[in-house]
Chains A and B, each alone.
Chain A
Amino acid sequence: MPEQLFQFLVTGITVGSLYALVGLGFAIIYNASDVVNFAQGEFVMLGAMTAIALLSAGLPLPLAAIVATLLTVLVGLLLERFAIEPTVGAPVVTTIIITIGAAIFLRGIALLLWGKDFHPMPAFSGDRPIHLGGATLLPQSLWVMGVTLLLVVLVRLFFNRTLLGKALLACSFNRAAAQLVGINVRVMLRLAYGLSAGLGALAGILIAPITFSSYEAGIMLGLKGFSAAIVGGIGNPMGAVAGGLLLGVLEALGAGFISSGYKDAIAFLFVLMVLFFEPTGLFGHKVADRV
């Protein structure tokens, strides 16, 4: 039994790290614009698919990963410039529908570029499982956890220690005030989309060796990342990370101990319970109503 529990935890943390990375992307864009970007999952898919395409074109893995991430960042910037920026000031739901449109559009492009098949990607350091106190995990899981940890630390440092990061954070508290103190809100918006796209792409590249990728792979991850960001309290990047890990572990435990068929229902029931008792998520700041 404890052996099983340990295995479930290992699985949960691997999957949870991934949700955390996607959730982090949601939180960053939300911070800059109050918008939930429903194309976040598509950034994940684009990163993975581009990396796979570059690998099969003969690029070495590190180079393929970097180029794929940069290309996805470019897509994020283009999305911001041509679809989000023109509608600054429009109702938030309008912007959300635009991101839904963008998600469908990006999926459509991926479908045309790479077809409908699932594509495998070789693991970074082989497929030989590592035994760890009765549980086994793949080297790729370590990659996922390690890189997630690194990125989370970097994002945290960025927000807490750099002027740019603080400026971005300021936008989330009060956009008008941020503008008044000389922060260029537009630039911040671009920064947020670029950063989110990059994080998404990295998440995609990390997970592709475990789960493969296809043009539709972003839908599920987007949904889970969104849930992670909300449970943690949207707008709080570290909350999103905690939310993601929690969700991943919960799914694994639900599937292992209760019922694998109902595990998604169990996870979402938990999310509902959290929200009923903590209406702004576990680590969200309470916002006073402006009249």
Chain B
Amino acid sequence: MKDYGWKIILAAALLAITSLAGAVEPIRIGSFLSVTGPASFLGDPELRTLQMVVKDINAKGGVKGRPLELIHYDTGGNAREALSFVKRLIQNDKVDLIIGGTTSGDSLAVIPEVEKAGIPFISLAGAVDIIEPVKKWVFKVAHTDRMAAAKIFEDLRKRGLTKVALITGDGGFDKSGREQLLKLAPEYGITFVADESYGNKDTDMTPQLTKIRSSDAEAIINFGFGQAPAIVTKNMKQLGINLPLYQSHGVASQTFIDLAGAAAEGVRLPAAALVVAEQLPSSDLQKPVLLAYKKQYEAQYGPVSTFGGHAYDGLMIAVAAMERAGDADKAKVRTEIEKTQGFIGTAGVFNMNPTDHMGLNLDAFKMVEVRNGAWKIVE
């Protein structure tokens, strides 16, 4: 019996030594996402995607023979926390690259710190300000709100509608979207006849919509995410407002349809191709990528959202850059990310260059409409 115990200890020690000797230093990917709080709608699928893809890559032997290690902190959508955790990632966890910043506020807050530290940062948020003007170390993979605004206006123009009512929430995503809409409207000959707002935790938006009802609006745009746009959609139905309703890409997921129920019928919004992957023509370059990601994600977690897709794009762009750079050296990886060309992601085809750290064009967005409880492409 005693002998037996000794043997186990010896074996364990041997195993520990050999595994230590053979262990390769992992590549550390740092991440800070808004997994809880008002933007958990976005942050939660992002984190799941990162975890899923990292596991997948490691199962296939890692990057250049080194496994990936994901270190994640939840910011709760609070920019102060975001900054503090980015410091922790850089100083304490010594990560090689950072992917994250679910909300624009979180992303903008950490830019000075990543620029100072000189570490590649791929943001998952929407605001144009993140990459304009171009910052050396900062990239982004989500569509900008300006693109969403342009896509909505294009569709309005096609339908010959010019008088529009606007209703937005009080979050960063909402406000920044509103700003882009107002800025871009004259270019498309659109005039806003109402400009209402609500609190993102409000339970009823009928007063605002009642005001809109008495305006001469021909269509309504609601820019926001979370449950509020679903309440707006239901309240519109309640008040008997039968105007075309445009939502933003912030609610491009099955969850929105589930929450708004029958009221969601006919709602249009600009979305990444992910939500309508099956409907794409088979000649579409993105289709195989989209279907593969969708299948893998839904097998583990339930309906995909385009936000999880952003995390996928960000991580895969980073991995491709590391493969090209040959290692995880921060400066080399940064240069390689900037050279990303023809990368087919879930959000579109990325072509970055030193003056464009996002590399998506308007084609990346599809105009979709809810028909019979599902998203359908309208072109």
Per-residue interface assignment for chain A, residues 5 to 49, with 1 indicating a CB less than 8 Å from any chain B CB and 0 otherwise:
001100100110010000000000000000000000000000000
- CB–CB B207/A8 < 8 A: yes
**Chain B CB within 10 Å — which of A7, A14, A216, A255 has the most?**
A255
- CB–CB A116/B35 < 8 A: yes
B132 interfacial contact with A, CB 8 Å: no
Among A187-195, A205-213, A239-247, the stretch in contact with B: A205-213
- CB–CB A261/B170 < 8 A: yes
Q: Which among B40, B170, B199, B204 is the interface contact of A15 at CB below 8 angstroms?
A: B204
- CB–CB A120/B198 < 8 A: no
A162 interfacial contact with B, CB 8 Å: no
Number of chain A interface residues as a range: 20 to 34
Per-residue interface assignment for chain B, residues 209 to 234, with 1 indicating a CB less than 8 Å from any chain A CB and 0 otherwise:
01100100000000000110011001
Among B255-263, B286-294, B341-349, B361-369, the stretch in contact with A: B255-263
CA distance A18 to B204 in the complex (A): 12
What residues of A have a CB within 8 angstroms of the CB of B180 in the complex? none
- CB–CB A211/B227 < 8 A: yes
Take A116-B40, A118-B227, A136-B239 as given contacts and tell me if A220 and B210 are in contact as well, using a CB distance cutoff of 8 Å: no
- CB–CB B261/A7 < 8 A: no
Q: Which among B170, B197, B238 is the interface contact of A138 at CB below 8 angstroms?
A: B238
What residues of B have a CB within 8 angstroms of the CB of A127 in the complex? 234, 237-238, 261-263
How many of chain B's residues have a CB under 8 angstroms from any CB in A? Answer: 35
Take A7-B210, A136-B240 as given contacts and tell me if A211 and B259 are in contact as well, using a CB distance cutoff of 8 Å: no
CA distance A137 to B206 in the complex (A): 10
What residues of B have a CB within 8 angstroms of the CB of A118 in the complex? 41, 226-227, 230, 255, 259
What residues of B have a CB within 8 angstroms of the CB of A116 in the complex? 35-36, 40-41, 44
What residues of A have a CB within 8 angstroms of the CB of B44 in the complex? 115-117
B201 interfacial contact with A, CB 8 Å: yes
Task: Say what secondary structure dominates the interface of chain B.
Answer: helix
Take A116-B40, A118-B226 as given contacts and tell me if A255 and B262 are in contact as well, using a CB distance cutoff of 8 Å: no
What residues of B have a CB within 8 angstroms of the CB of A210 in the complex? 203-204, 231, 234
- CB–CB B35/A4 < 8 A: no
What residues of B have a CB within 8 angstroms of the CB of A136 in the complex? 238-240
Per-residue interface assignment for chain B, residues 186 to 197, with 1 indicating a CB less than 8 Å from any chain A CB and 0 otherwise:
000000000011
- CB–CB A260/B207 < 8 A: yes
CA distance A261 to B168 in the complex (A): 9
Take A118-B226, A120-B261 as given contacts and tell me if A256 and B210 are in contact as well, using a CB distance cutoff of 8 Å: yes
- CB–CB A4/B36 < 8 A: no
CA distance A264 to B207 in the complex (A): 14
CA distance A284 to B262 in the complex (A): 45
Q: Which among A11, A111, A219, A260 is the interface contact of B36 at CB below 8 angstroms?
A: A111
B208 interfacial contact with A, CB 8 Å: yes
- CB–CB B255/A255 < 8 A: no
A252 interfacial contact with B, CB 8 Å: yes
Q: Which among B35, B197, B231, B262 is the interface contact of A260 at CB below 8 angstroms?
A: B197
Per-residue interface assignment for chain B, residues 33 to 59, with 1 indicating a CB less than 8 Å from any chain A CB and 0 otherwise:
001110011001000000000000000
Task: Give the contacts of B236-262 with A (CB-CB under 8 A).
Answer: 237-240, 255, 258-259, 261-262
- CB–CB B197/A15 < 8 A: no
- CB–CB A264/B259 < 8 A: no
**Chain B CB within 10 Å — which of A120, A219, A260 has the most?**
A260
Task: Give the contacts of A77-128 with B (CB-CB under 8 A).
Answer: 111, 115-118, 120, 127
CA distance A15 to B261 in the complex (A): 21
A214 interfacial contact with B, CB 8 Å: yes
What residues of B have a CB within 8 angstroms of the CB of A216 in the complex? 36-37
What residues of B have a CB within 8 angstroms of the CB of A138 in the complex? 238
Take A127-B237, A127-B261, A260-B196 as given contacts and tell me if A214 and B210 are in contact as well, using a CB distance cutoff of 8 Å: no
What residues of A have a CB within 8 angstroms of the CB of B203 in the complex? 15, 18, 207, 210-211, 220
- Which residues in A have some Cβ–Cβ distance to B below 8 Å? 4, 7-8, 11, 14-15, 18, 111, 115-118, 120, 127, 129, 136-138, 207, 210-212, 214, 216, 219-220, 252-253, 255-256, 260-261, 263-264
List 6 A-B pairs, Cβ < 8 Å.
A7-B207, A118-B226, A120-B261, A129-B238, A214-B227, A261-B197
